[in-house]
């Protein structure tokens, strides 16, 4: 259960990227790979815990799931597979497959509400 640590890092990256003009985070989009060792549901739960009681409480965490790909060494095809199931050989040419991708754990995008600056308050 390292998702709480991961959620804290997501928050840190977002806050550092948004800078001091950020009043509150509104929405954060993450890429989470199938081989990232991070469980999306646990991460959403941890995100709530990491932001609770802060101005960012209630910020939406949107997760884009990135499956790993099994690519045939021989024909270059990406074998079709369901998440969590793994093929031993290429369905077309029965040659070994290599595993690519699925290791993503990235903050892609965020939106935030800006802090009111003194200039905003001028009549």
Q: Which of 65, 69, 79, 113 binds another protein (CB under 8 A)?
A: 113
Q: Is 22 strand, coil or helix?
A: strand
Does 87 bind another protein (CB under 8 A)? Our answer is: yes
Interface stretch with another protein, choices 7-15, 44-52, 59-67 (CB under 8 A): 7-15
Exposure string over 53-64, b if 16+ CB within 10 A, otherwise e: eeebeebebebe
- 108 and 28 Cβ atoms separated by less than 8 Å: no
Residue ranges binding another protein (CB under 8 A): 1-2, 5-6, 9-10, 12-14, 17-18, 21-22, 26, 30, 34-38, 68, 86-88, 96-99, 102-103, 105-114
């Amino acid at each position: 259960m390292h998702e709480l640590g991961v959620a804290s890092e997501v928050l840190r990256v977002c806050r550092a990227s948004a800078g001091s003009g950020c009043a509150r985070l509104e929405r954060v989009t993450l890429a989470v790979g199938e081989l990232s060792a991070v469980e999306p549901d646990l991460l959403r739960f941890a995100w709530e815990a990491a932001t609770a009681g802060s101005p960012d409480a209630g910020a939406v965490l949107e997760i884009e799931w990135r499956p790993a790909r099994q690519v045939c060494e021989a024909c270059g095809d990406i074998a079709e597979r369901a998440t969590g199931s793994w093929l031993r050989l290429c369905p077309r040419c029965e040659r070994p497959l290599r595993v690519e991708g699925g290791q993503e754990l990235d903050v892609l995008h965020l939106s935030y509400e800006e802090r009111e600056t003194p200039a905003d308050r001028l009549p």
